Amino acid sequence: MRRRELIFIVVLFFVPVLLNAQKILTLKECYDRAMTANALAGEKTGYSDISRLKDENLVKGWLPTLDANGSFIYNSSVLDLSSVLGSLPIPGIAGAIKPLPNEQYKVTVDINQVIYDGGAIKGARALEKADLLVNQKQTETDLYKLRGQINNFYFNLLLLARQKELLNNYLEIIKKRIESMQSGINNGVTLKSDEDVLTSEKINIEQQLAENEIRNTSFLKILSDLTGKEIDSSTEFMLPVLSGELSNELSHPELQLFDLRKEQLAAGMKVIDSKRMPKAFGFATFGYGNPPGANFFKNEFAPYYVLGANIKWNIFDWNKTKNEKQIISFQQSIIENRKNDLSDNLKRLLESKYSEIESLKALIETDSELIILRKRITASSESQYQNGTITATEYLNELNSERQAMINIEIHKINLSMARIEYLNISGQEIE
C-alpha cells in the first residue's frame, strides 16, 4: 500500500509539471486574445452604453414635459371702462367696474404632451441604432487590421523554431565529424586544416543560433504585447493547416461597414421624411396669479388652468427637405462607388495571393525531390572525403547545400500556410 501511495504522489507531482512544460498556441487564439486585449476592444461596449442612453432619451420624447414659470408685468396703460360706461344712462354702473390693475403676477406649471409626431421619434431611434452598428463595425474593422501584425510575428516565430531545429541538427553533425577527426589527426592521417574548416563552420552555426535566440525573444515580447498575455520560449506554435478549396467570396469587415453606412443614410432619409409630417400636441397650464388667467376684471390672486391642443404641419419648406434627401442620395452613391472600388482591389489581391499559393505548392514539390538528391550527394561526398578524394571544404559545401534545401522546404511550407491565412483575411473569412 505504501508503495502505491508513493507512486500516486509522484504522478500527481510530475504530471502537472509535464503538462505545463510545453504550451501550445494557435493562430486563432492569438487573434482572439488580441481582439480583447487591444485598447480599442472596449469601444464596442462604450458605443453600446452610449446608444442605450441616447435611446432612453429618445423614448422619453413620448413623456409629458413639465415646465415651471413665473412672471411679473407692469403695464403703463391698462383698459379702463369707467369712462365709457359712465356715458350710459345707467346710474352707478361706472363705479361698479374698476380699472384693470397695472401689475400682473403669475406662477404656472406648463404641461406639454406629444400626441402624434409623424414618426420622428421612431425614425430617430432607428437612426441611433444604425449609428451604433456603424461605430461597432468601425471598431471591428480597426481591430481586424491587427491580424496582419500577428501573422507577421507568429509565422516568423515558426520560421525561427524550424531554423533552430535544423541548425541544432546540423551542429550535432559537425561536432561528430570533428570528434571523428581527432584520431585521424593524432595518427597523421587527417590534416589539421580539415578540422579547422569544420570548427569554423561550428562557430558560424553557433553564431546563427545566438542570433536566432535574440530574434525569437524579441518577437515573443512583441506578440505578448499584441495578445495581452505572456508568451515564453516554452510555447509551441502550431502551423495552421487549412483543408479544402479557397473561396473567392468576399465578406471583409470593411465591405460590411459600407453596407451599414448605406443603411445609416437610409435611416436618416426616414428622419427627414418625418419632418414634413403633421404633428399634434396637447397642453395644459396650471397657474396662480393676479389677475387669474384671462379674467382681467378680477383684481386678486386666484388659481386657474388652461387646456388645449394644437396641430403643426409644415406644408411648404422651400424644397429644403427635397435638397436634404438629394444630398443623402449623393452620399449613398459615393459609398457604393467606394465599396465597389474596395471590392475590386480585394479581388485583385485574392488573385495575386492565389498565384503565390500555387507557386509555393509547386516549389514544395520540387523541394522534396531536391532534398532526396541532396542527401544522396552528401552521402557520396562523405564517402569520398573519408577516402581522401575530396577536401573537407568540398564536403562541407555539399553538406551546406543539403541543409539549405531542408531550410527552403520548411520556409516554403510556412510561407504557404501564411499565404493561405492571408487569403482568408483578405476575403474576410474566419479560420478554424
- Residue-wise pLDDT for 225-272, tens only, equals 999 999 998 999 999 888 778 888 999 999 999 999 999 999 999 999
Residue 175 lies in a domain: yes
Residue 331 lies in a domain: yes
Please tell me the distance from the alpha carbon of residue 272 to that of residue 117, in angstroms, as a whole number: 13
Residue 135 lies in a domain: yes
Better pLDDT: 191 or 199: 199
Residue 100 lies in a domain: no
Predicted TM-score (pTM) of this structure: 0.83
pLDDT at 358: 95
Residue 67 lies in a domain: no
**Looking at the 3D structure of the chain, how many domains does it have?**
1
C-alpha cell at 125: 431611434
Instruction: Supply the CATH number for residue 230's domain.
Output: 1.20.1600.10
Residue 387 in this model has a pLDDT that exceeds 50 = yes
Residue 73 lies in a domain: no
Residue 250 lies in a domain: yes
Residue 6 in this model has a pLDDT that exceeds 50 = no
Distances (CA, A) of 10 to 5, 13, 118, 350: 9, 5, 77, 55
Contacts 24+ apart (CB under 8 A), 70-73: 70/106, 70/107, 70/108, 71/104, 71/105, 71/106, 72/103, 72/104, 72/105, 73/103, 73/104, 73/105
The pLDDT confidence band at residue 1, using thresholds 50, 70 and 90, is very low
Please give the residue range of the domain that contains residue 423: 27-62+117-278+313-427
